[in-house]
Amino acid sequence: MDNLGFLFAANVFVWCGIIYYVYTLKQRNRALEKDLDLLKETLSKEG
Amino acid sequence: MMRPDGTEEKNEEGNTLVWLTGIALLMQMISIFIYVPTERTEGVIQRIMYFHVPCAWLSFFAFFVVFICSILFLWKKDREWDIYAHASAGIGVVFCSLVLITGPIWARPIWGAWWVWDARLTSTLILWLIYVAYLMLRAQSDSGSMRARYAAVLGIVGFLNIPFIHFSVLWWRTFHPQPKVITNEGIGKGMDPSMLATLGLSLFAFTLLYFLLMGERVRQEKLKDEIDHLKRKNFYSS
Compute the Cα dihedral for B186, B190, B192, B197 and give only its sign: negative
From the CA of B99, how many Å to the nearest CA of chain A? 9
B145 CB-near residues (< 8 Å, 6+ apart) = none
Compute the Cα dihedral for B107, B112, B116, B118 and give only its sign: negative
Report the residue from B43, B220, B230 with minimal CB separation from A43: B230
- Which residues of chain A have a CB within 8 Å of the CB of B219? 29
Do the Cβ atoms of B109 and A14 come within 8 Å? no
Averaged over A12-27, what is the pLDDT? 96
Lowest-confidence segment of B107-111, B119-123, B152-156, B165-169 by average pLDDT? B165-169
- Which residues of chain A have a CB within 8 Å of the CB of B227? 32, 35-36, 39
**pLDDT (tens digit, 9 = 90+) per residue, B77-103?**
999 999 999 999 999 999 999 999 999
**pLDDT (tens digit, 9 = 90+) per residue, B180-220?**
777 767 777 778 889 999 999 999 999 999 999 999 999 99
* DSSP letter, residue B39: B
Q: For the whole model, what pTM was predicted? A: 0.90
Do the Cβ atoms of B216 and A1 come within 8 Å? no
Interface TM-score (ipTM) > 0.85: yes
Is the separation of the CB atoms in B178 and B170 below 8 Å? Answer: yes
Cα B57 from Cα B40, distance rounded (Å): 25
Report in angstroms the alpha-carbon separations of B78 from A7, A25, B85, B146: 44, 24, 12, 13
Do the Cβ atoms of B106 and A39 come within 8 Å? no
* DSSP letter, residue B112: S
Please state, as a whole number, how many other Cβ atoms lie within 10 Å of the Cβ of residue B232. Answer: 10
From the CA of B103, how many Å to the nearest CA of chain A? 9
Do the Cβ atoms of A14 and B102 come within 8 Å? yes
Is the separation of the CB atoms in B79 and B225 below 8 Å? Answer: yes
Averaged over B167-192, what is the pLDDT? 77
Residue type, B110: I
Cα B223 from Cα B9, distance rounded (Å): 19
* Dmax (CA) of chain B: 72
Q: What are phi and psi of A30, to 5 degrees?
A: -65, -40
Q: Which residue of B has its CA nearest to A33?
A: B223
